[in-house]
Amino acid sequence: MKCWKCLLILVVGLSSCQDSSKSLPEARKYYLEYLLNNDKTYLDKTYESLKSRGYLEEHGLNEQNRDIVVMLLLQMKKYDELEGLLTANQDMRAFDKNLALNLTRSLAIYPEDSVEAKRLMLENLQLVENEMEANPNDSLLWGSHFTARMYLVGREKALQEIDSLKSVDDRYSDIFYEYTLKELIKEYPDELMYKRK
């Protein structure tokens, strides 16, 4: 199973343990089925479950459902709906909200306006770099950095850049570079990448 699917299963599974709502575990169950079987009918079932409980209304996005809602709407290419939810949300940390908004907007307009789509990814890269300056010990920000780079330069070039960083920065272990950063980029879902005409 792909690494990103394992991570999503872990996130969705753990977050369902923290939710007291009866409907969110049902949506998570459907989403887990999608991740395990790649059967898109489960995306539709997840969507309907979330929608029937009001999680896809203007102020429905919250800490408990944010991960599943964002991933679901990105994978279903419901960019306008996701942008509306993100824009209306007042509780998300600005860094996370802006990264998600820029990614959503970028995917929505590519390839029709590839220049603007790439500008949004450059903006994400700048957001990540600013966050890295403020939190220099947060190694996981490198994942966001190389994800943004991947949108700008492609998967293979991003992997080469990770190798270059590894050769000059010994703060992190080989395991971090190989099995965290490189696996993230290698296994990043194709359905969340720019679609070529």
Pick from 59, 92, 125: which residue ends a domain?
A: 92
Handedness of CA 95, 119, 43, 11 (dihedral sign): negative
Domain that holds residue 88: 3-92
Residue where a domain stops, chosen among 33, 63, 92: 92
**Residues 101, 187 within the same domain:** yes
Note the pLDDT of residue 19.
45
**Per-residue confidence band for 197, with pLDDT thresholds at 50, 70 and 90:** low
Q: Please give the model's pTM, rounded to 2 decimal places.
A: 0.86
Question: Is there a domain that residue 35 lies in?
Answer: yes
137 located within any domain = yes
Write the burial class of residue 164 (CB in 10 Å: 0-12 exposed, 13-18 middle, 19+ buried).
exposed
Find the helix or strand (DSSP H, E) in which 169 lies: none
Q: Could you tell me if 61 and 14 lie in one domain?
A: yes
> What confidence tens digit (pLDDT) does each residue in 20-46 have?
455 689 999 999 999 899 999 999 999
